[in-house]
């Protein structure tokens, strides 16, 4: 099942290409593409994308709607 997120909307509003976001987040373009299509990703990948988009981890719900990064997880 997919996750709702605003990655594409935010990326486009910042006039950022998928390749640029991927480079800043240290992930592949294919990973960005899958996430923008609503596929699940690892917690660490979400954190990288949030920071690469210029948000703080506390703003995660603006990027990954209704998501909890599990602040108390290991």
What is the set of domains in the chain, with CATH numbers?
7-63 (1.10.260.40)
Whether residue 20 contacts residue 62, with contact meaning beta carbons closer than 8 Å, is answered with no
- Model's pTM, two decimal places? 0.84
How many Å separate Cα 35 from the centre of its chain?
7
Predicted local distance difference test score (pLDDT) of residue 33 = 97
Intra-chain end-to-end CA distance of the chain, in Å: 24
Count of all residues that appear for the chain in the document: 74
Predicted local distance difference test score (pLDDT) of residue 23 = 99
Digitized pLDDT (tens) for each residue of the chain, 74 residues in all: 456 899 999 999 999 999 999 999 999 999 999 999 999 999 999 999 999 999 999 999 999 987 655 443 33
Predicted local distance difference test score (pLDDT) of residue 4 = 85
């Amino acid at each position: 099942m997919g996750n709702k997120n605003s990655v594409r909307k935010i990326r486009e509003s910042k006039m950022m290409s998928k390749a640029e976001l991927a480079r800043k987040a240290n992930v592949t373009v294919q990973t960005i593409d899958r996430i923008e299509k609503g596929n699940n990703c690892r917690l660490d990948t979400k954190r990288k994308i949030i920071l690469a988009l210029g948000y703080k981890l506390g703003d995660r719900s603006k990027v990954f709607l209704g998501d909890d990064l599990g602040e108390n997880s290991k």
